[in-house]
Amino acid sequence: MKKYKNLAIILLLFSFTLYGDYKSDIKKGTLLLKTGKIQESINFFKNAIDENPSSSEAYYYLGYAYFLLGEKDKSLKNYEKAVQLDPENPDYHYALASLLISIGDKEKGIKELEETIRVSPESLAAKMAERLKKKIEKEMKEEELVKKWEKKVKEFKKTTTKKGKKIKIPLEKLVKRLKYATESRRKEASAKILYYPPTALKEYVSDFILLMRRENNPETIKNIIKIIAKTNTPEGVKGLRNFLEDFVWGIVEKKDANNIVFTLIVTLGEIRDTDSLDIIKDAWKKYGTKDREIYYYLTLARLGDYSHIGDLKKRLKEDYKGEKEKEIKLRSGIIEVIGEYLTKHSDPELENLICFLSEDALYPEIKAAAQNAFATFRKSVKKRD
């Protein structure tokens, strides 16, 4: 009898040892994740699973590590296993939802977001899930609308409601309004045209360039700049670049020129027109303002000039300023260019910052941007290796 008691004690101690080992491996793995050593962390998470196959936490972190490496199939498999082992953990559901959305399976992603909210309505993950769910549902509606537009571009008509009666406005008619209508109607038409798909707008790019130069209302001009950029045609990009150059040389004068030039600078950066880099620098010297410097630095980085990467990094560490949506968009852009920067330059501090944001950002949009940036960086490292 004493012999069996001793054996039981030994087995119990052995089980405690195993338990401690797998917990220790998870801890070591997460520390490696935070320092950007993704590949090394995977070995520890796999060891933890070997030691305790029912550890949902180990599967979760293994899935996250694979996600950062861009191996989304493996990530999906491990996230699903984590959810299976611990279906009441909101973080696991949210991670799985985010991954499903990133690979294009938005319907399943929304279901997982709903599960996140259901299992723990008051958790941070649930609140993030609510915000992301609204955003994705809105995107799905917009995507469906774009599909309808592209199916019959020539017959495409924008529908609005006025006094209960539907009014169909063909793009051709809106372009005519932009040419010949009163100032307020031109402004209204330019705002409506912005919602048309690029395939429909390309036909009128020459008209838009001419109208941009002829227009006097600053808001209408800024809308037309965005419309031209949306066409993403060589003719359109050149038209924007030349328009900016004319401001620099004093060939054109417009009311509220500072804001128009700022819109041109930011837009040319967003469409990555590297040929505009020198003229953008000249334009900034003439029209730039201190309060918009960060947007200028972001534009330079988008065009391959990383001379202000330190200022961009600094912004990511500062408290949020002004309108939240604008700040989130700005920071997402900064994170994107930092990811591109890291594919060409070694900077451990920036790597750690992006890794941190990919795991613990304040807003889901920032977290998603950081995850994509980190994945881009890791792919470049794998190619170099």
Residues 80 and 101 in one domain: no
Based on the fold, state whether residues 118 and 134 are members of the same structural domain. yes
> Are 80 and 92 in a shared domain?
no
What is the reported pLDDT for 18?
A: 47
Q: Which domain-ending residue is among 65, 84, 103?
A: 84
Q: What confidence score (pLDDT) does residue 149 get? A: 64
Domain hosting 65: range is: 1-84
Same domain, 203 and 286: yes
Q: Which of 110, 85, 21, 186 is nearest to 96 (CA)?
A: 110
Place of tokens 């201190």: 290
Determine, yes or no, domain membership for 271.
Answer: yes
Do both 293 and 190 map to the same domain? Answer: yes
Q: Report DSSP letters for 130-156, one per residue.
A: HHHHHHHHHHHHHHHHHHHHHHTTTT-
- Overall number of domains in the chain: 3
Q: Does one domain contain both 96 and 78?
A: no
Q: What is the pLDDT of residue 137?
A: 84
pTM of full prediction above 0.75: no
Which tokens in the block code for residue 165? 């009666």
Phi-psi region of 232 (alpha: psi -120 to 50; beta: other; left: phi over 0): left
Averages of pLDDT over runs of 10 residues in the chain (385 residues) are: 45 46 86 87 91 92 90 92 93 91 88 92 89 85 70 49 53 94 95 93 95 95 96 94 93 90 96 95 94 95 95 92 89 94 90 90 89 83 58
Q: Are residues 197 and 93 in the same domain?
A: no
My answer on whether 77 and 223 are in the same domain is: no
Q: DSSP H helical segments within the chain, as ranges?
A: 2-34, 38-51, 56-68, 72-85, 90-102, 106-119, 124-151, 171-180, 183-193, 198-201, 205-214, 218-231, 234-248, 257-270, 277-287, 293-302, 309-317, 324-342, 348-360, 364-384
Instruction: With respect to residue 157, please indicate whether it lies within any of the assigned structural domains.
Output: no
Using CA atoms of 37, 42, 44, 48 in order, give the dihedral in degrees to the nearest 10.
Answer: 150
- Longest CA pairwise span in the chain (Å): 102
Cα(173)–Cα(294) distance, integer angstroms: 39
pLDDT of residue 151: 64
Give Cα 133 to chain centroid, integer Å.
15
The pLDDT, as a whole number, for residue 382 is 59
162 in a domain, yes or no? no
Residue with tokens 């029912």: 54
Domain boundary among 84, 109, 141: 84
Same domain, 118 and 207: no
Q: What is the pLDDT of residue 362?
A: 84
| DSSP 3-state of 161 | strand
Q: Are residues 293 and 367 in the same domain?
A: yes
Is 160 within a domain? no
Q: Which of 119, 151, 183 is the C-terminal boundary of a domain?
A: 151
Which CATH number goes with the domain that contains 5? 1.25.40.10
Q: Are the C-beta atoms of 262 and 226 separated by less than 8 Å?
A: no
d(CA 358, CA 122): 22
Q: What CATH number is associated with residue 185?
A: 1.25.10.10
Q: Which contacts qualify for 130-133: CB closer than 8 Å, 24 or more apart?
A: 131/363, 131/364, 132/97, 132/98, 132/101, 132/364
Q: Establish if 297 belongs to a structural domain.
A: yes
Residues 6+ apart with CB under 8 A from 375: 67, 68, 69, 70
User: Do 232 and 375 share a domain, yes or no?
Assistant: yes
What tokens does 246 get? 């004319």
Judgement on whether residues 78 and 96 belong to the same structural domain of the protein: no
